[in-house]
């Protein structure tokens, strides 16, 4: 084993040196220039749930399954998957020709280590690991799960397109503790990360991986199907100023601006040579996350009082005046999703009374403690949420310390469990893709297992029990019934507050074709 790892490390170093591209050699026609939502503060797609990191992850890493436009899982790195013993044994067989960016072959043991690390952090992965008796690699091509009981959602877990993605990486990296970040980006995806060209706050660069073998057959769809890279190089240009990004798109200096500001959309729609389109039909669910570990939001009565004052339309209108681009009346599950329900929705849609809520907060014991509200200044939609939320909390009588920073700083600070006086926090606002909130399986903010939960760390044993029951439910009807009960409980215990659903058009040069629905991915995209 030691000699094998040593060889891999040598290959990694050698390949990086030999294949590192020169910026001066990059040809415009073969380069796609993309402006992401924000910079990537953390590169490890298993360590964090942020979307820019997920999108970066799909550039570099591949997954065992991919999700198509009907939200069904299709084999991706796999030639096939078969079950035995009434669904208690899964044998996953890797495709031929899979290679990591360091030149080494993708082996089953790499995947086993990758799954174990991911399964320690991801909400859905934790469920899969809990029902797994043994995860092994009986040979170089076979990944074997021996389960405590049948778990038909196994492909859904391994192939989910939402953070944290189940990224396959070499065993030597996957053996890193799940509590530690991986900074060396060696995957088997269609593009290699160019670490030597990284300029924080300005540039992330990728080179087409010539050793990537797309799966044969099928149609590119969301994260499923053949991943054919047409551009030799992809550059993510970080442009916090929206006017700069719009000017660059107009001039043809960039090709694709992922998340333009809502107030610029009319100008973009009228711009010659530019197209706009909503690529994620599930939208984005806005949320207010409260820290359950520290006062005052460790008190459920205070959390309920804040919920009772939230008017979702206020948060949506702060982002855009285009009524077609948002919905209010949004509960715990994505509107239109199989688990969406009207149970308990009066907590969201009923009359709002600020004075009544303010009195309830005082009655519940609020003593004027300072509350820190985090906000990301460079993401217009996120800042709009934070502005409205901070203002609402002030109107409710809270002693608000509103701290704006960049999103990367928010991501790092929200991981702190310490009291406010020691660098902690009380409230932050964010978005989740609608697909993340389809079911309890991947719904990170619904997880309520204390310090093992996502930042906010709610501890609601009854919610966790219902979630466990949901996985074991004998029918879709039984799952819906449990989802109703979970939503009712969520409006009582308030693990977080839903703020509405937004749809974000993306903007790109009209000569780009092949942009897929779903996550921003860069295979299948080409210049006409």
Kindly state the tokens that stand for 297: 């939001």
Q: What is the 3-state secondary structure (H, E, C) of 19-79?
A: HCCCHHHCCHHHEEEEECCCCCCCCCCCCCCCHHHHHHHHHHCCCCEEECCCCCEEECCEE
Helix pair 476-493, 461-472: axis angle to 10 deg: 170
Architecture of the structural domain at 284-502: Roll (3.10)
Which pLDDT does position 11 carry in this prediction? 33
| CA distance linking residue 310 with residue 312, whole number of Å | 6
The residue ranges of the chain whose pLDDT is under 50 are: 1-26
User: Contact at 8 Å (CB) between 82 and 91?
Assistant: yes
Cis peptide bond prior to 44, omega within 30° of 0: no
SS3 82: strand
Which pLDDT does position 379 carry in this prediction? 84
Residues 6+ apart with CB under 8 A from 11: 102, 103, 104
Q: DSSP class of residue 325?
A: G
Closest CA relative to residue 304, chosen from 428, 223, 439, 396: 396
| CA distance linking residue 11 with residue 364, whole number of Å | 62
Residues 6+ apart with CB under 8 A from 325: 262, 502, 503, 504, 505
The tens digit of pLDDT for each residue in 280-301 reads 989 999 999 999 999 999 999 9
| CA distance linking residue 39 with residue 53, whole number of Å | 9
| CA distance linking residue 219 with residue 92, whole number of Å | 21
How many angstroms separate the Cα of 28 from the Cα of each of 238, 389, 527? Answer: 18, 43, 11
Domain ranges of the chain: 284-502
Which pLDDT does position 27 carry in this prediction? 52
| CA distance linking residue 422 with residue 412, whole number of Å | 14
Closest CA relative to residue 393, chosen from 299, 306, 302: 306
User: Contact at 8 Å (CB) between 122 and 164?
Assistant: yes
Cis peptide bond prior to 296, omega within 30° of 0: yes
| CA distance linking residue 186 with residue 339, whole number of Å | 37
| CA distance linking residue 377 with residue 457, whole number of Å | 24
Burial 49-68 (b: 16+ CB within 10 A, else e): bbbbbbbbbbbbbbbbbbbb
Element spanning 256, H or E: strand 256-257
Q: DSSP class of residue 440?
A: S
The whole-model pTM stands at 0.78
**Cα dihedral across residues 69, 499, 246, 267: positive or negative:** positive
Element spanning 385, H or E: helix 380-395
């Amino acid at each position: 084993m030691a000699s094998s790892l040593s060889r891999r490390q040598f290959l990694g170093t050698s390949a990086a040196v030999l294949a590192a591209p020169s910026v001066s050699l990059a040809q415009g026609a073969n380069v796609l220039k993309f402006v992401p939502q924000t910079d990537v503060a953390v590169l490890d797609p298993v360590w964090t749930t942020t979307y820019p990191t997920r999108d970066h992850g799909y550039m570099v890493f591949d997954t065992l399954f991919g999700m198509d436009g009907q939200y069904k899982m299709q084999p991706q790195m796999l030639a096939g998957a078969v079950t035995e013993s009434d669904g208690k044994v899964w044998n996953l067989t890797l495709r031929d020709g899979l290679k990591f960016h360091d030149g080494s072959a993708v082996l089953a043991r790499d995947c086993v280590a990758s799954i174990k690390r991911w399964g320690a952090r991801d909400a859905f992965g934790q469920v899969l690991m809990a029902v797994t008796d043994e995860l092994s690699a009986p040979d170089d091509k076979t990944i074997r799960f021996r389960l405590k009981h049948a778990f038909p959602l196994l492909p859904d877990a391994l192939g989910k397109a939402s953070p944290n993605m189940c990224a396959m990486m070499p065993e030597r990296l996957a053996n890193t503790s799940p509590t530690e970040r991986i900074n060396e980006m060696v995957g088997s995806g269609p593009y290699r990360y160019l670490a030597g060209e990284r300029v924080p706050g300005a540039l992330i660069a990728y080179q087409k991986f010539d050793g990537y073998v797309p799966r044969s057959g099928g149609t590119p769809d969301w994260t499923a199907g053949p991943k054919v890279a047409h551009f030799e190089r992809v550059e993510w240009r970080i442009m916090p100023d929206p006017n700069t990004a719009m000017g660059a798109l107009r001039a043809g200096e960039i090709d694709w601006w992922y998340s333009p500001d809502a107030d610029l959309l009319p100008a973009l729609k009228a711009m010659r040579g530019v197209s706009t389109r909503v690529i994620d039909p599930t939208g984005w669910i806005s949320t207010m996350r409260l820290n359950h570990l520290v006062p005052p939001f460790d008190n459920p009565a205070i959390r309920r009082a804040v919920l009772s004052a939230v008017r979702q339309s206020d948060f949506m209108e702060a982002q855009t005046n285009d009524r077609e681009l948002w919905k209010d009346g949004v509960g715990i599950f994505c509107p239109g999703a199989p688990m969406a329900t009207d149970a308990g929705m009066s907590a969201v849609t009923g009359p709002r009374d600020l004075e009544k809520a303010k009195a309830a907060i005082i009655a519940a014991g609020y003593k004027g403690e300072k509350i820190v509200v985090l906000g990301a200044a460079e993401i217009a939609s996120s800042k709009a949420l934070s502005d409205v939320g901070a203002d609402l909390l002030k109107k409710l009588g809270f002693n608000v310390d509103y701290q704006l920073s960049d999103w990367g700083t928010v991501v790092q600070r929200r991981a702190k469990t310490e009291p406010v006086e020691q660098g902690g926090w009380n409230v932050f606002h964010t978005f989740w893709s609608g697909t993340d909130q389809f079911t309890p399986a991947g719904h990170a903010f619904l997880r309520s297992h204390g310090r093992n939960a996502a930042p906010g760390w709610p501890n609601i044993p009854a919610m966790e029990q219902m979630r466990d029951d949901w996985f074991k439910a004998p029918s879709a009807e039984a799952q819906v019934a449990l989802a109703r009960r979970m939503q009712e409980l969520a409006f009582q215990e308030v693990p977080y507050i839903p703020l509405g659903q937004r749809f974000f058009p993306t903007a790109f040069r009209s000569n780009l074709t092949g942009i897929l629905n779903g996550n921003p991915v860069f295979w299948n995209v080409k210049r006409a």
